[in-house]
Amino acid sequence: MSILVGKDTRLVVQGITGNWGRRQALNMLENGTSIVAGVSPGRGGTEVQGIPVYDSMSEAVMKHQPNTSVLYIPAAMVKEAAFEAIENGIKTIVIITETVPVNDTMKIIDLAEQYEAWVIGPNTPGIVSPEKALVGFLPAATVQAGEVGIISRSGTLAIESLRFLSESGIGISTCCGIGGDLVSGKSQVDYLRLLEKDDQTRFIVLLGEIGGSMEEIAAETISTMTKPVVTMIAGRTAPPGKRMGHAGAIISQGQGSAVYKIEALKKAGAMVADDFWSLVELIKKIQ
């Protein structure tokens, strides 16, 4: 199995006629994703890479029954596009766009909870279940299927972890960049619970970073899990009060520091890697 995306994924690309959406649609197709439709208002009746384009999500859903959507939409229009996907029954929504207004994100999350939809992002590189489906722009072509599930706040960490593990011959069940903004659709805890239940996943990698209390909260769940969890926290040398990289990575009054997170994760029973090389070694030890 895998989580959230797989062979049964039927994807609609919102914003498919833009430069980014057009390029990434081809990339996702080449990595085995079933893209059934695209949506771009005013471009209905055209095609991109042989994919039919519609003016509205309702029309795409009626004709193709997608279950997943990816948004390559300018930040100011993300809320409207996400609402349209959720209200038309899409259950997994992947928001690639960064700098989405926090208030808009909170409204998207609230609506998604009402419709029991799963929002990945905003500001995510996407999600990949190797040899099954890619939604987003993670480097799926070089990744092999396996038993390690990866959860990452940072897109860069997700991409680098895939590279290091692949070069070491370690396969992946699912890798998901959950979104690097202050507010994201789902928390690390939500993904930990999914991977704990997934039959294909035997080991879990949690890639965190400074800022917020997400990893400390995740530690409480890790302490109750049956699968081994290996973690790595980026930003150990970041000075307090400085934003590092993106909105989620900021230390405030001592909270959210790497030291606090590492202490909580170790206490919960997680193994903590110092870098990608030690991450690989820890995984090899427990395999």
Three-state DSSP at 222 gives: helix
Distances (CA, A) of 112 to 75, 88, 101, 105, 129: 18, 11, 17, 10, 23
Beta bridge partners of 208: 233
Half-sphere exposure of 212 (CA within 13 A, CB side): 20
Indicate if 246 belongs to the active site. Answer: yes
Query: Residues 22, 132, 186, 246: which is the catalytic one?
Result: 246
Residue 231 φ/ψ, nearest 5 degrees = -125, 160
Q: Could you give the angle at which helices 78-87 and 57-64 cross, rounded to 10 degrees?
A: 30
Residue 160 burial (C-beta neighbours within 10 Å; 0-12, 13-18, 19+):
middle
**Strand order across the beta sheet in which 229-234 lies:** 133-136, 126-129, 172-177, 145-152, 203-209, 229-234, 271-273
Q: Which residues pair with 250 in a beta bridge?
A: 243
**Residues 287, 231, 109, 70, CA torsion sign:** negative
Q: 19: Cβ–Cβ under 8 A, 6 or more apart, which residues? A: none
CA 102 to chain centre: 18
| Residues marked as catalytic | 246
